Amino acid sequence: MKKAIIRIFACFIPSTKIRRQFRTKMLNYFVYGPEKLQKYKEIKIKWYTTNNGEKLLPGRFNEYDLVFAVGAACPMTWELIAHKLRTFSNPFDWTAGIRPGNWLTDINVWRDTRFITKITSLCSDFSGFFNRPDIKIISNENPVVHHVISNARTKINFLHLFPVDKSIDDSWESISLKINRRCNRLIKEINGSRRVLICWGHRMMNQKDLLDKTVADTDIKKAFEMLNKKFPKTDIDLVFFEHDGTKKEFEYSKIKVCKGGYRIKSNHYIVTDSYEIVCAPIFFNGQKLEYKESLVVAEALDNVNLSKK
């Protein structure tokens, strides 16, 4: 209720910058509370002490015109929402790769998260990304809220779109319009941006135990070739947040794959409770699901600013 009231009052502030500042201060004071803010400050001090004052940036810059997620699945989008970096919905927000039949039971079977397929879709103006003949239901979520559907041709799964109380055909017109609108807007926003940060998150939040493949160096370099050709006037960075269970608290490796392409390896099981991510559309027994953020991921995103373009 407090969050809703703060959002309503913020709507009457014409300046985007002042509106964000007002919302942040009010949330910090009335919702998150001074106790969590104090803990957050303590984490910051410990971070800079441990890392010799080094600020962790996910890419090359600390300010971007646009930040969006391409997977591996939904948690990356929730992370961006928590840090107020997601300014609109994009068609990759609630997508993942098809789960192999013996996934989660065979430790040698990993899910392909379809990274290069998604970048190919973006660079081809989303041709064939969401065509009705390719779409089929493969399962329902648990808790059951939406159908999990898949594009049989691209092997990209779509979640949190089609409600289970309706058939795909009954919902198709409105949802396909929504997806097409998101596709067109994403391309327009990238073209109108000077700097863009694309984020990919591996085994985060409730998916820390899931066997998802990391993205190969060759695919990262291939993605940049396509992105630079499609958007030649935009500086694009790609960051891959990858789980590494051997890392300790505040420990990470930032590895440059190519110009603008970075891996940040850290232990996603080490979390911060300075605040939680609330997954608004996802309920279980009437309660919103909440997750604590991976510490290094939270620190990296906390250092990113959005421009006022």
What pLDDT digit, counting tens, does each position of 75-91 carry? 899 889 888 899 999 99
Question: Which of 36, 52, 68 is where one domain is finished?
Answer: 52
Mean pLDDT of all residues in 213-242: 97
pLDDT digits (tens, 9 = 90+) for 122-141: 999 999 999 999 999 887 65
241 pLDDT exceeds 80? yes
The CA-atom distances, in angstroms, between 182 and each of 35, 150, 164, 243 are 39, 18, 22, 29
Tell me the pTM. Answer: 0.85
Which residue blocks in the chain are alpha helix, DSSP H?
Answer: 2-10, 16-26, 33-50, 74-82, 115-123, 168-191, 217-230, 295-302
| pLDDT at site 285 | 43
Are 175 and 233 in a shared domain? Answer: yes
pLDDT at 244: 94
Query: Is pLDDT of 149 > 50?
Result: yes
Decide if 155 contacts 115 (C-beta within 8 A). Answer: no
Contact yes or no for 117/155 (Cβ under 8 A): yes
Sign for the CA dihedral angle at 57, 267, 78, 17 comes to negative
Shared-domain flag, residues 41 and 65: no
Closest of 251, 249, 299, 257 to residue 274, by C-alpha: 299
Same structural domain, 116 and 230: yes
Least confident of 183-192, 196-205, 231-240, 252-261: 196-205
Spatial separation of the C-alpha atoms in residues 215 and 113, rounded to whole Å: 8
152 and 206 co-located in one domain: yes
Q: Could you report the per-residue pLDDT of 50-108, keeping only the tens digit for each?
A: 889 889 999 999 999 999 999 998 889 988 988 889 999 999 999 998 777 776 677 67
Alpha-carbon gap, residue 25 to 13, rounded angstroms? 14
% of the chain beyond a pLDDT of 70: 79
Average pLDDT score over residue span 187-212: 90
Mean pLDDT calculated for residue range 159-180: 93
Number of H helices, E strands in the chain: 8, 13
Overall number of domains in the chain: 2
Q: Are residues 4 and 38 in the same domain?
A: yes
pLDDT over 70 (residue 10): no
Can you give the pLDDT at residue 91?
97
Please say which residue of 52, 67, 91 terminates a domain. Answer: 52
Same domain, yes or no: 102 and 162: yes
Which domain range does residue 47 map to? 1-52
Task: Evaluate whether 134 touches 154 at the Cβ level (below 8 Å).
Answer: yes
Distance CA 249, CA 43 (A): 11
pLDDT of residue 281: 42
Same domain, 193 and 233: yes
Instruction: Tell whether 105 and 6 lie within a shared domain.
Output: no
Task: Identify whether residues 148 and 295 lie together within a single domain.
Answer: yes
Same domain as 116, residue 31: no
In terms of C-beta density within 10 A (0-12 exposed, 13-18 middle, 19 or more buried), how is residue 183 classed?
buried
Q: Report pLDDT for 283.
A: 43
Same domain, 36 and 156: no
For the chain, the average pLDDT equals: 85
pLDDT of residue 37: 64
| Whether 117 and 251 share a structural domain | yes
